[in-house]
Structures are given as structure tokens and as C-alpha cells.
Amino acid sequence: MIVTIVYIQIKEPYIPDFIDATLFNHRHSVEEYGNLRFDFLQDADDPTKFVLYEAYESPRAAADHKLTAHYKTWCKLVDPWMAVPRKGVKYEVVAPLSPDKW
Amino acid sequence: MIVTIVYIQIKEPYIPDFIDATLFNHRHSVEEYGNLRFDFLQDADDPTKFVLYEAYESPRAAADHKLTAHYKTWCKLVDPWMAVPRKGVKYEVVAPLSPDKW
């Protein structure tokens, strides 16, 4: 299992557009083979900041996400709305290790 | 629903002790009323860095976590092992909103 946490900051006028585009990406990403979670979060203290919490069964499944049409469409749409470049940090899972907990 | 992402950096010699203490905290936290997730992750590029991904049904349930014996024991054990003070960031959930997806 592998988790990528993606940190995103959006220029304020584009927040509603970003949310719509990312809900589209979320809906399709959770249907990918090997996806375990794709949580979409907004910072409680700064509404311009967002997090994607992307859990996949394997590094291969995580890499395959970037080949999907919905990911490519999302990048093309949202990248111009970002206040700073988005940043992904990769994590190994310590717990829970049981696949049925994901 | 509310998610808190806790960022932790541990002094290197204490990494095994920190993992054991946090597995104990994890096992008890996932049994709390109102807990949805309590994922324990290790940075893939820097093994001194960890993340706790704590999802609760309500801000009240998240606050109640800090009153539990296992949380208090964990703090007392692990705080001296931290390279820098731990930092928690609170997030609202944009998706998924359906409780059965948590």
C-alpha cells in the first residue's frame, strides 16, 4: 500500500471551479482498479488550501492513476488556478495493514 | 466530519519506540466512538517523519480523543522523542461525504 498526500493552494476566485473539477476527479479516481481512498479535504482555517489523500494498493496502481483521462483532464483544468505548484508527498503505511480496513 | 493531519518528526534513535507506542495508540483510537479512521504513515523518503490521519464523525468526537487514557499515555511517552513539536492541521471533508465511505 502507498499513500500520497497532495498539498494544493488555489487562487481565491477559482475555489468553486477547483472544487467542481476535483469532485469530478474524485468520482472517477475511487473507481480505479487498486484505489483504496481518494479523500478531498479543505483546510478548516484557510479555504484556499486543499489536500488530496490518495491511497493505492501498490506503487504501480498509484502510478497508473497519472495515466487516466480524468487525471489528465484535471491537471489541465486546475493547474492554472494554483497559487503555488502542488506538492505530493509519498508515505508508507504503518497501520492499518489489513486491506479490509481501507 | 473532521480530519486532523498530525505531522511528527522523531529523533532517529527513538523511531522503533515511537512506532510501538503509536501502534498502541492506533489500536485504541480506532475503537473510540466517533472515530472513522486513524491511519499511521511513515514518509517514504525520510523515515524520521510520520503522519497521523485522524478522521472523526464530529469536532466533539475529535476533541474527546484527547481525553482518552491512550492519548494521554501516548503524549507522555512520545513527546520527548520528537525532533520538533508535532503539528496538527484541521480539515473539512469535501468528499466523500457519505458516512459509509469512511
Domain containing residue B7: CATH number: 3.30.70.100
The overall pTM is greater than 0.95: yes
Host domain of residue A61: 2-101
Q: Residue B50: inside a domain, yes or no?
A: yes
Q: Residue B47: inside a domain, yes or no?
A: yes
Rounded to an integer, what distance in angstroms lies between the CA atom of residue B81 and that of residue B10?
Answer: 6
Question: Could you report the predicted ipTM of this complex, rounded to two decimals?
Answer: 0.96
**Cα dist from B67 to A94, B20, B70, B74, whole Å:** 24, 21, 9, 12
Count of structural domains, chain A:
1
Q: Closest CB to A41: pick one of B23, B26, B91.
A: B91
Residue of A nearest to B102 (CA): A102
Q: Residue B100: inside a domain, yes or no?
A: no
CB contacts of A53 in chain B (<8 Å) are: 3, 53
Rounded to an integer, what distance in angstroms lies between the CA atom of residue A41 and that of residue B54?
Answer: 12
| pLDDT, tens digit (0-9, with 9 covering 90-100), for A2-16 | 999 999 999 999 999
Q: Do B41 and A96 touch (CB under 8 A)?
A: no
Cβ count within 10 A of residue A80? 8
Q: Residue B99: inside a domain, yes or no?
A: no
| pLDDT, tens digit (0-9, with 9 covering 90-100), for B21-60 | 999 999 999 999 999 999 999 999 999 999 999 999 999 9
Residue of B nearest to A45 (CA): B90
Rounded to an integer, what distance in angstroms lies between the CA atom of residue A40 and that of residue B5?
Answer: 13
